[in-house]
Amino acid sequence: MNLSYRFPADLLALQQERDRTYTALAHAPAGTGTAALRRALVLLDLRLATHPYWASPAQWRTGAAELRRTARTHTPTARSAA
């Protein structure tokens, strides 16, 4: 099945923020305030999964991988950044 996704700018921005937070957590030495990063990551995951773009939980499960791929390669334009 070949599905085509067009993600809203705010959803892409959430995924990119989640990726940055995950990277920061992965590189943080143990015992250096990682609890705040873990909490932020959980909150971002929740916001991603419950974003209005996903009409149902099944759509989140099928579209999440494509969202991650798109967010890694997406460069905000003036129009999508606004």
**17-50 pLDDT, tens digit each:** 999 999 999 999 988 889 999 999 999 999 998 8
Per the structure block, which two tokens stand in for 33?
């305030």
Helix ranges (DSSP H) in 1-77: 9-27, 34-49, 57-73
Residue 12 burial (CB count, 10 A) = 16
Question: Does 9 score more than 50 pLDDT?
Answer: yes
Query: What CA–CA distance (Å, rounded) separates 23 from 7?
Result: 22
pTM of the prediction? 0.74
Per the structure block, which two tokens stand in for 2?
């070949």
Query: What CA–CA distance (Å, rounded) separates 45 from 60?
Result: 11
Residue 47 burial (CB count, 10 A) = 15
